[in-house]
Structure 1
Amino acid sequence: MEKHPRVKLHFTLTRSSWLNVIERWTGQPERNTLYHGCFTSVKDLRETIKIFIDSHNTHSAKPFRWSQAADAILASVDPARTSMILNS
């Protein structure tokens, strides 16, 4: 299958738990604020999203503490990055 001209293999990250956090956070405004809203303009929508973000930052947000140094994190992803470059 790899030799077929129309087939291109794509590699998916095996550990993307950080993506779950992003998906959850971006879904909150839709569920809590936007779903029942009626917006008459883009400006109105933007203001509503800004109010949600400000409220979240004031009441819910907690600082993220990295568990490793930046060099260690970059070293751990380098093999995957190299593999992706070689296989593209």
Structure 2
Amino acid sequence: MKNDRREAFIQYLASKNDWCTATNLANYFKVSTRTIRKYVNEINEDQLVIASSSQGYRLVSREKVKADNHYTSPINRIKVILKELILHIEGL
């Protein structure tokens, strides 16, 4: 995904400040809903920026992104799980 397309996508979600359906996003960007899912996955590869639910997609607040940062990458999730398993003698 090109950076200008990525920024436009994020800016559009920021301007809506609410849930946007994949169909609405696809119509606005003149792409398919599958492409919208691809965009969201590419943007969220490094850090959770866009939340998804049955209501559609929404930009996650920057404060929440910073708070949840240690859970975003697969390696960091593995580290957190291993730490919890090691520290809890009685199990989880």
The structure where strand makes up a greater share of residues is 2
State the TM-score, normalized to the length of structure 2: 0.22
State the TM-score, normalized to the length of structure 1: 0.23
Pick the structure with greater CA Rg.
1
